[in-house]
Chains A and B, each alone.
Chain A
Amino acid sequence: MEKKELICIGCPMGCPITVTLDNGAIVEVTGNTCPRGKSYAEKEVTNPTRIVTSTVRVEGGERPLVSVKTKEDVPKDKIFACMEEINAAVAKAPIKIGDVILENVAGTGIPVVATKADAAC
């Protein structure tokens, strides 16, 4: 039996959660005070994911950069692969919030979208 200690991030409470695993299968989740804690812990030990937020260079815009995010969570171990592609990308103004900057970042199938508008200048 393996035990993993986590801090729940579902709310400011930050419950300390212990997940007991048997050959990778979840046996028990303790320490959570609500169902969200349980599902967070289950996901975190089996398939941890994150939204990646960064900036992309802009051509012809009012500002040098536009802020972006992965539209959905990407696998945690793909974060730096996403960053490489985000850093190589260039967006062309005008840009609206939600515009797709990269269609499929780091082979995740998930697009990178703008989180800020930039009018052309």
Chain B
Amino acid sequence: MKTYDIVIVGGGPAGLAAAASAKKAGIDSILILERDKELGGILNQCIHNGFGLHTFKEELTGPEYAGRFIDVVKELGIEYLLNTMVMDISGDKIVTAMNRTDGMFQVQAKAVILAMGCRERSRGALNIPGYRPAGIFSAGTAQRLVNMEGYMPGREVVILGSGDIGLIMARRMTLEGAKVKVVAELMPYSGGLKRNIVQCLNDYGIPLKLSHTVVDIRGKERLEGITLAQVDEKGKPIPGTEEDYTCDTLLLSVGLIPENELSRGMGVEMDSVTSGPVVNESLETSIPGVFACGNVLHVHDLVDYVSEEAGRAGVNAAKFVKGELSEGGKDIPLIATSGARYTVPRHINVDKMDDLLTVRFRVGAVFKDSYISVYYNDERIMHRKKQVMAPGEMEEIILQKEKLAAYPDLQSITVKIESE
């Protein structure tokens, strides 16, 4: 069996950034396994601009952003296999994969970086009543069809869910000549970025109906129409508010779920809120030497943060291989509560952390003029005002090693949202 220092599962933005940073940290034996026919992952179908403002200080399209990292990976001579599906990773890091050239094969990794990304929630997860005709797509599937395969899914479109992919596809379908009649969102706020609401809906006069959902789907062979209804604060449709729309296409943009079958298979501890692995300050999962980054860890809002996070995972995997990721020290749990839904990482070892550690989280509702507060034990040590926080956007706090190390008897760090 071939042995690699680091095997990276996934050649999207997370896998590429992790590979480049691990290589720069001195690891030569790296293998990226990618199931698609090219590197770049989901960025290949995200042809819109707006990527890389933080990383490159310019607005790139998805393929351009991916292209920069692909170029780096190629320049660094990092080995990768395309059209290769990872079937299983064992607890002792034997990776089983298959492709048409090599058939089924196994490689032994000293460290593994999980970078499989996420996938879309489907109609089945929503329990929408009605028929099951053709013409119902996840927004990302439609995006791939339009932007990569050259097919238009339909001409009269309703979009359920105001996640970013749904908003982007509202604009894209409009530009390609389709009529997007409405975007319906179950929640009283959009899950998408502000700029996407402005530039994808407002620019084209596409109405966004908050607190609305699809309650009926009509058409036996092909979709013929849907019914929208307003929902109450519990998300239940309000009788009498139904409105019929004729349409041949319904796009679903109703959330992303980290794709963790492999992680679960190898017995990594999972976080029920993020649906990603529980990780420590080094982005290391409950299995030593197995790291996670990008959307497989928690769904990100901006790819810039994926690249940054994956870069850290790569460096830490390199340290692990070289035996520099020190053991020992005490793990301190991070607790997310009162509006903060989760934190990544979920526990930190002060001895092992860098001087500064970025902790990312999301809020569970829209908060205005509220504070992000951080408590060491019961003492509030950070209190930062934010004008607006929304579930669609990630928040962050930065912890300082010096301050943590100086704090006596630190048992827990709590992150919460406070009104004052």
Where the two chains meet, the residues of A that have a C-beta atom closer than 8 Å to any C-beta of B are: 6-9, 12-15, 33, 50-55, 57, 63-65, 67, 69, 76, 79-80, 83, 87, 97, 115-117
Chain A CB within 8 A of B199 CB = yes
Q: Mark B53-79, 1 if CB is under 8 A from A, else 0.
A: 000000111111001000000000000
In the complex, chain A residues whose CB is within 8 Å of the CB of B67? 97, 116-117
A-B contact count (CB 8 A): 75
Within B153-198, the residues touching A (CB, 8 Å) are 175-176, 193-195, 197-198
- B301 within 8 A of partner (CB): yes
Q: 25 A–B contact pairs at CB < 8 A?
A: A7-B194, A7-B202, A9-B195, A12-B193, A12-B393, A13-B194, A50-B203, A51-B49, A52-B175, A53-B48, A53-B49, A54-B47, A54-B175, A54-B176, A55-B146, A55-B150, A63-B148, A65-B147, A65-B150, A67-B62, A69-B61, A76-B203, A79-B175, A83-B175, A115-B61
* A49 smallest CB distance to B (angstroms): 11
Complex-state Cα separation, A39 to B47, whole angstroms: 26
A63 surroundings in chain B (CB, below 8 A): 148
Across chains A and B, which 7 residue pairs bring their CB atoms closest together, nearest first?
Answer: A14-B194, A9-B195, A67-B47, A116-B63, A115-B61, A64-B150, A12-B393
Contacts of B59 in A (CB 8 A): 51
Q: How far is the CA of A79 from the CA of B171 in the complex (A)?
A: 11
For residue B126, CB closer than 8 A to chain A, the reply is no
What does the 1/0 interface line of B137-153 toward A look like (CB < 8 Å)?
Answer: 00000000011111000
Q: Are A12 and B301 in contact (CB under 8 A)?
A: yes
Distance between A48 CB and nearest chain B CB, rounded to angstroms: 9
Closest to A55 in B: B147
Least CB distance from A31 to B in Å reads 10
Interface presence of B44 (CB below 8 A): yes
In the complex, how many angstroms separate the beta carbon of B208 from the nearest chain A beta carbon?
A: 12
Q: Is the CB of A9 within 8 A of B148?
A: no
Q: What chain A residues lie within 8 Å of B63 (beta carbons)? A: 67, 97, 115-116
Question: How many interface residues does B have (CB within 8 Å)?
Answer: 30
* Among candidates B47, B49, B387, B388, residue contacting A55 with C-beta atoms closer than 8 Å: B47
Q: Are A67 and B175 in contact (CB under 8 A)?
A: no
In the bound complex, CA of A15 to CA of B386 (Å): 12
Instruction: Judge whether B197 and A67 touch: CB under 8 Å.
Output: no
Chain B residue with the shortest CB-CB distance to A6: B198
**Interchain CB contact under 8 A, A115 and B47:** yes
| Chain B residues positioned under 8 Å from A115 (CB to CB) | 47, 60-61, 63-64
Across-interface contacts of A65 in B (CB, < 8 A):
147-150
Distance of B202 from chain A, by nearest CB (Å) = 8
Report the bound CA distance from A53 to B176 in whole Å. 11
Distance, CA A64 to CA B152, complexed state (A): 14
Give Cα A52 to B49, complex, Å: 8
Contacts of A87 in B (CB 8 A): 176
Q: Within the assembled complex, what's the spacing in Å between the Cα atoms of A117 and B202?
A: 32
Chain A residues lying within 8 Å of B199, measured Cβ to Cβ, are 9, 50
Q: Which residues of B contact A76 (CB under 8 A)?
A: 203
**Extra 6 A-B pairs, beta carbons < 8 Å, given A55-B147, A67-B61, A79-B175:** A13-B194, A64-B149, A67-B63, A97-B67, A115-B61, A115-B64
Q: How far is the CA of A55 from the CA of B47 in the complex (A)?
A: 8
> A107–B198 Cα gap in the complex (Å)?
26
Contacting residue for B150 out of A6, A33, A57, CB 8 A: A57
Residue of A nearest to B50 (CB): A51
Which B residues are in CB contact (< 8 Å) with A9?
A: 194-195, 198-199
What residues of chain A lie closer than 8 Å to B197, measured between beta carbons? 7
* Chain B hits for A14, CB < 8 A: 193-195, 388
Provide the residues of chain B in CB contact with A117, threshold 8 Å: 67
Q: Given the complex of chains A and B, what is the CA–CA distance between A67 and B44 in angstroms?
A: 9
Chain B: CB-nearest residue to A76:
B203
Residue of B nearest to A98 (CB): B64
* Partner of A12 from B49, B176, B194, B202 at Cβ < 8 Å: B194
Tell me whether B47 and A53 are in contact (CB under 8 A): yes
CB-defined contacts of B62 to chain A, threshold 8 Å: 67
Q: In the bound complex, what is the Cα–Cα distance between A50 and B60 (angstroms)?
A: 13
